[in-house]
Amino acid sequence: MPRVPPRGPAGAPAEASVLTFPGGYRIGHATDASRLTGCTVILPPPGTIAAVDVRGGAPGTRETGLFTAGNLISEIDALVFAGGSAFGLAAATGVTEWLAERGRGRAVGGTRVPIVSGAVLFDLGVGDASAFPDAAMGRAACEGAAEGPIAMGAVGAGAGATVGKLLGVARAAAGGIGVAAHTLPDGTRVAALAAVNAVGDVVDPDSGQRLAGPDVEGFLSEKALLQDALSESPFVGTNTTLVAVAVSVPFEPGALKRVAIEAHDGIARAVRPAHTLFDGDVVFALAPGGDPPAPGLRLRIGAAAARVVADAIVAAVRRP
């Protein structure tokens, strides 16, 4: 299979920036632009808890079992998204070490153990197939993490991401990192970061118009799966959409899990098909720990989570 750089929409810049996440979140990328891989680190403020919902058939994750309601630990110190498939999980080791050196983590006896969760996507079919984010790259992403504008596009975990791979990676479009946010009437902020590397096409969630997919005019991957005679799949295990949703108001783990579940609707709206056997789709939800909002606000937050996830996926392929 030829290893070629992913193509982007005509005239689109390599990256753009937008102010999105709630205050206290620091986000950093480490990018190997020549070998088309990288990682993205989200460093939440102290006291942040996490929930996770995995719906793809080929996930690659780290420390997701912790975030089940009723388990001992619900707080998280860092979230890492990385390219490199299973090899890319090594980036989280560097993040863990970086945090430990700064005294972050859960006190256990005379030491502290940072809680670092993460997920990976497969980008070994583009660039250099032997390249993957390692511990040094995880550290670099931490060093560069900051509040404020977040780089989007072919950066961090999105450096080698592609979408619309039904006809193979050589005919796929560029994926990448996308970010979006929404502020509810009471001031609650809901933000999402997505690393988009899906087998399906990215579509406008309102009109259904295809925004990124195989470089065949008028081709729709979902329609082709339903109607066309296709050869044996060339994309086994090579896809994933990774999402982090951050909410500015407190939650407890069980209620936050519902936000992660609802946020998956955003993937289904913007990626067609989504949650396939060949995707590792996963959503992490992050929020301050505490009593959950009233049911009415929780309903609003779930709707906002789905919306910002869809918008972040679109932003990853259609950047200003």
* End-to-end CA, the chain: 31
Task: Return the amino acid letter for 94.
Answer: G
Does residue 11 lie within any of the structural domains? no
Q: What pLDDT, on a 0 to 100 scale, did the predictor assign at position 320?
A: 56
Q: Cα–Cα distance between 153 and 81 in angstroms, integer?
A: 14
Q: What percent of the chain has pLDDT over 70?
A: 88
Rounded to the nearest 5°, which phi and psi values hold at 129? -65, -15
Question: What are 44-93's pLDDT values in tens digits?
Answer: 999 999 999 998 888 889 999 888 888 888 999 999 999 999 999 999 99
Question: What are 247-265's pLDDT values in tens digits?
Answer: 999 999 999 999 999 999 9
Are residues 45 and 20 in contact, defined by beta-carbon separation less than 8 angstroms?
Answer: no
Sorting pLDDT into bands at 50, 70 and 90, what band is 16?
very low
Q: Cα–Cα distance between 231 and 225 in angstroms, integer?
A: 11
Does residue 29 lie within any of the structural domains? yes
Between 129 and 233, residue with greater pLDDT: 129
Q: What pLDDT, on a 0 to 100 scale, did the predictor assign at position 128?
A: 86
Q: Cα–Cα distance between 40 and 86 in angstroms, integer?
A: 15
| CATH number of the domain encompassing residue 308 | 3.60.70.12
How confident is the prediction for the chain on average, in pLDDT?
Answer: 88
The pTM of the whole model exceeds 0.85: yes
Total domains in the chain come to: 1
Q: Cα–Cα distance between 12 and 65 in angstroms, integer?
A: 39
Question: Would you tell me how many other CB atoms lie within 10 Å of the CB of residue 79?
Answer: 29
Look at residue 8 and tell me whether its pLDDT is greater than 50.
Answer: no
Rounded to the nearest 5°, which phi and psi values hold at 307? -65, -45
Are residues 166 and 225 in contact, defined by beta-carbon separation less than 8 angstroms?
Answer: yes
Look at residue 226 and tell me whether its pLDDT is greater than 80.
Answer: no
Tokens matching residue 210: 């295809």
Choose among 122, 124, 162, 151: nearest CA to 8.
Answer: 162
* Structural domain harbouring 247: 21-317
Question: What are 79-137's pLDDT values in tens digits?
Answer: 999 999 999 999 999 999 999 999 998 888 888 899 999 999 999 888 888 899 999 99
Are residues 15 and 47 in contact, defined by beta-carbon separation less than 8 angstroms?
Answer: no
Does residue 1 lie within any of the structural domains? no
